[in-house]
Amino acid sequence: MKMGVVGGAGLLGSTSAFLAGLKGYLEEIKLIDVKENLAKCHVLDMGQAIYGSSGTKVTYGEYKDLADCGIILITASIPERKVADRLEYLYDNMKLVKPICEQIRENCPNQAVIINATNPVDIFNYIIWKVLGWDRKKILGFNGNDTYRLKWAVSKVTGKPFKDIEGFCIGEHGNGQINLYDQITCCGEPLALSNDEITAVENMTSNFFAEFQSLDSGRTSGWCSSVNIEPLIEAIATDSGKVLECSSVLDGEYGYGGVSFGIPVSVGKDGIISYEMPPLSDTQKAKLDSVSENIKNTLAKVGF
């Protein structure tokens, strides 16, 4: 399978491409970016770097070269700046996302699986689906950092090894994330957190973005995001069926429709295979209802 990366010159696009290329399960990775010289620089550097361990070819591409790609990763975004909320990127990134979708629709008649990592992810995941008009199960928004950071925080707070912890965060990538504490396990057994531990995990996960932004570095969380995007690429390319958190366009699943937000889904070569939401408590369901309405209200403000 071949993959195109729109925004391939940026930190997130190039790092995700490198990690996927290093493993060798893709036939070719095509980097597309308005910064042609930087994208071509990555092609030369990355191609050499992975040559000793992978048969994946890395090339520079234009939109017309996406026609034979089975995966298209969208990481294009306005330059990072200090913001209080990811929603502040909405109107500026809208000027990028809609033209990108139009180019993809024009050049990709076979409906590749889309991985969207442009913020605000849930809003743009729905918009991408509407603009493309493709099968909604082929449009996957990257929310994996929320689940990863939940497991990271639980590991830090409890002292349990990260590799032994399983669990999911659902909802909106940003202020509307919902940590599913009732469903966390360690070595396959339920892991009951105390109230103090839950408070500590909540503080760590909810304050991370504000702390990161306060540094005003002009940089996104490229390494952590790429480490979590790569398993999503692999699940599609290898048709593994692995269950991952993705922003998913819903049409009646779990009583939700006309919205996209993060839930666990099984992922394969055609996108979403099945929806794998665990049973929710009444409190969790109420929070998710609120998240759904908030996302819908934001979509309505931008004409969707």
* pLDDT tens digit sequence for 181-227: 999 999 999 999 999 999 999 999 988 777 877 887 777 788 999 99
Residues 148 and 118: their CA atoms lie apart, in Å, by: 18
Cβ pair 47, 58 in contact under 8 A: yes
pLDDT value of position 117: 96
Residue 86 has a pLDDT of 58
Mean pLDDT over 298-302 rounds to 93
Report how far residue 191's alpha carbon sits from residue 141's, in angstroms, rounded to the nearest whole number.
28
> Other C-beta atoms within 10 Å of 294: how many?
18
At residue 83, the pLDDT reads 58
pLDDT of residue 207: 82
SS3 content of the chain, % helix, strand, coil (to 5): 50, 20, 30
User: 140: pLDDT confidence band, cut at 50, 70 and 90?
Assistant: very high
64 pLDDT band (50/70/90 cuts)?
very high
Work out whether strand 57-60 and strand 71-74 pair parallel, antiparallel, or are unpaired: unpaired
Residue-level pLDDT at 14: 97
Query: Which pLDDT score is estimated for 88?
Result: 74
Q: What are phi and psi of 302, to 5 degrees?
A: -105, 15
Predicted local distance difference test score (pLDDT) of residue 219: 76
- Which tokens go with 12? 């997130």
To 10 degrees, what angle do helices 121-132 and 90-107 make?
Answer: 30
The per-residue pLDDT for 27 is 98
Predicted confidence at residue 80, as pLDDT, reads 63
pLDDT above 70 for 85: no
* Tokens representing residue 9 in the block: 């010159």
- What lies within 8 Å, CB to CB, of 203 at 6+ separation is none
pLDDT at 104: 97
Does residue 86 contact residue 21 with C-beta atoms inside 8 Å?
A: no
Place of tokens 């990257």: 142
Kindly give the pairing relationship between strand 242-251 and strand 257-268.
Answer: antiparallel
Amino acid type, 276: E
Region 45-58 average pLDDT: 97
> For all residues of the chain together, what is the average pLDDT?
94
Contact between 144 and 231 under an 8 Å Cβ cutoff? The reply is yes
Band of pLDDT at residue 268, cut at 50, 70 and 90 = very high
Give yes or no for a cis peptide into 99 (omega within 30° of 0): no
